[in-house]
Amino acid sequence: MRWDDLHLWYLGDPSTPAYVGALRLVANGKGVSLRYGASWLADGFALSEDLPLRDIEFLPPGRLAGDSQRAVGAVDDARPDRWGEKVIRFADRPKRLSLMEFLYYAGDDRFGALGVSASATAYEPRPGGPLPRLDDVQALSEVVAKIEGSEPLSAIEARLIAGGGSPLGGAKPKALIDIGGEQWVIKFYSGEPVDSPLVEHATMTLAARAGITVAETRIVPLAGASAIAIRRFDRRDGRRIHSLSAGTAIRAATPSGMEPEMGYPELARLLRRIGLARDGINQQDARELFRRMVFNILVDNTDDHEKNHALLVVSPHEHGRLRLAPAYDLLPTHSGQGYQEFVCGARGQESSLENAMSQCEAFGLQPEEAAGEVVAVIEVVNGWRQHFAEVGVTVRDIDLLAESVDGEALRTQRDRFDPSRHASPARRARRPSPFRRA
């Protein structure tokens, strides 16, 4: 079966799906367009800044290099990640592998609150069974190993992994599971030099100590290994939260014809401009984003690309006010490469505190305030060895990670950061006016 036309639905309340509009395969099969339906134009909201409520066909960017594929605006976040695409190839084996097939086969539990249906009159997603549970995790890990080894799956195995959906993330093997009636993402690792699930859990909990809001994590034991489960932050009390990756949000905010700058300062400006302004939440989110940037630099988490930051559209019908989603995918990459995936400041992607400080005003921070945030994060990161040991990371793994986290480049930055260099200059005492009465 093949589709050149599908339909987008909004599932904020999954019990009452709302029709959004028509999807169409365009750009020689490399892109997907959207045209809002009449009901959505009357009662809906703009899915992203580049998809205002207008009765036109919205097209993806005109230039898609090489094998790149992209759906328009927020629709692009409804597609599966690289691991999800791999699962679709093995579990569903569609005859054609266009972006439309990937959008359809991603199923009903994709990132955020959008759904893809074969029908415009009823929400009819790709059929799927119930999510695997904790008792199924060992079997699920074996299916994952088969997919990684390009081994064929049985019908039962295909159903098990297909029931896991494909949330936003990347190339790491993962699936959705049900824990206590709630959806969690479970990530599997293999062939890593360290116990990555435990290291990720340790890094996430260390980030929480640094005042960073993180997704809840837990370790799931397996035979001879372990996995990490991350509680979904785009689900709450049975409802789904419309969400955007940082890349989608920044592209949507960038004027047509200009290249977007994928980075922390640009994301901070976006939060301050259209973030949730109530009680200064947008300013708080921008400040926390600065803290996350500094933390990622200091723990050598250089895999901080545009899909590893997300925004929650908490009040979509009220001008789409955004919140910074909890942090996820935090762990040392053990690369020591000296640059981040996301731009940090005036020196681009350079992994330095000087670079992080260089555009602190984009985060709504005065240099003195930003320096205070850096000092607070340094204090927490200085205790990373003890924290990792308390969580259960082995001495061997800690020593291996220390080659980068406590390597000369990062350790020197922590030791030599001088907040007094960023202090506000003392104000001159005002001269008394000669006309002032004694």
Q: Which residues of the chain have pLDDT under 70?
A: 1-2, 62-67, 163-170, 319-320, 425-438
Say whether both 386 and 375 belong to one domain.
Answer: yes
Task: Tell me the C-alpha distance between 2 and 97, whole Å.
Answer: 9
Say whether both 149 and 170 belong to one domain.
Answer: yes
Say whether both 304 and 325 belong to one domain.
Answer: yes
Tell me whether residue 438 is in a domain.
Answer: no
Last residue of a domain, one of 88, 117, 146: 117
Which tokens sit at 83? 């691991």
Count the domains in the chain.
Answer: 3
| Residues 234/112, Cβ–Cβ less than 8 Å | yes
Q: What is the CATH number of the domain that holds 154?
A: 3.30.200.120
Mean pLDDT value across the chain: 90
Say whether both 258 and 356 belong to one domain.
Answer: yes
Tell me whether residue 108 is in a domain.
Answer: yes
pLDDT tens digits, one per residue of 277-309: 888 999 999 999 999 999 999 999 999 999 999
Phi, psi of 414 (to 5 degrees): -65, -40
Phi, psi of 32 (to 5 degrees): -130, 130
pLDDT of residue 438: 46
Residues in CB range of 38: below 8 A, 6 or more apart? none
pLDDT tens digits, one per residue of 397-407: 999 999 999 99
Tell me whether residue 148 is in a domain.
Answer: yes
- Residue 180: CB atoms within 10 Å: 7
Residue 198 to residues 125, 326, 380, 388: CA-CA distances in angstroms?
35, 19, 19, 9
Say whether both 139 and 49 belong to one domain.
Answer: no
Residue 230 to residues 15, 218, 380, 385, 432: CA-CA distances in angstroms?
25, 7, 22, 23, 62
Domain hosting 400: range is: 236-422
| Residues 388/398, Cβ–Cβ less than 8 Å | yes
Task: Tell me the C-alpha distance between 124 and 118, whole Å.
Answer: 6
pLDDT tens digits, one per residue of 58-79: 998 765 555 578 999 999 999 9
If you ran DSSP here, which 8-state letter would residue 174 be given?
A: E
pLDDT of residue 224: 84
Say whether both 296 and 195 belong to one domain.
Answer: no
- The helix, strand and coil proportions of the chain, stated in percent and rounded to the nearest 5, come to 40, 20, 45
| Residues 376/211, Cβ–Cβ less than 8 Å | yes
- Residue 376: CB atoms within 10 Å: 14
Say whether both 263 and 384 belong to one domain.
Answer: yes
Tell me whether residue 430 is in a domain.
Answer: no
Say whether both 15 and 145 belong to one domain.
Answer: no
